[in-house]
Amino acid sequence: MDKERSGETMKLGAFFHPTGNHVAAWLHPDAQIDAGTNFRHYAEITQTAERGKFDLMFVADAVATRDGKLEWGCIARRSSIPSP
């Protein structure tokens, strides 16, 4: 374990989940309601990681799609109605 590891470099990776890592992250007033389907949002996060010299970006996905109707998020954010 005490051997010098010359020539080796550390690789940095970022794990990105579009809605945040906290179960209630979507409730934050600055949360981006379409983060999971907005390519520009993914690009901006990736560019931030690139500026930080990250080597890779892992994007979490799910076996699901939305119907494109994001209005429920705006309503739920202003009330106590849980999101579907």
- Please list the pLDDT of the chain residue by residue as tens digits (84 residues): 556 777 888 899 988 877 677 778 878 888 887 887 788 888 888 899 999 999 998 876 665 555 656 555 555 455 554 555
CB atoms within 10 A of CB 36: 19
* Rounded (10°) CA dihedral 47, 50, 52, 56: 120
12 burial (CB, 10 Å; 0-12 / 13-18 / 19+) is: exposed
Q: Position of tokens 């996060």?
A: 45
Q: How far apart are CA 67 and CA 1, in angstroms?
A: 53
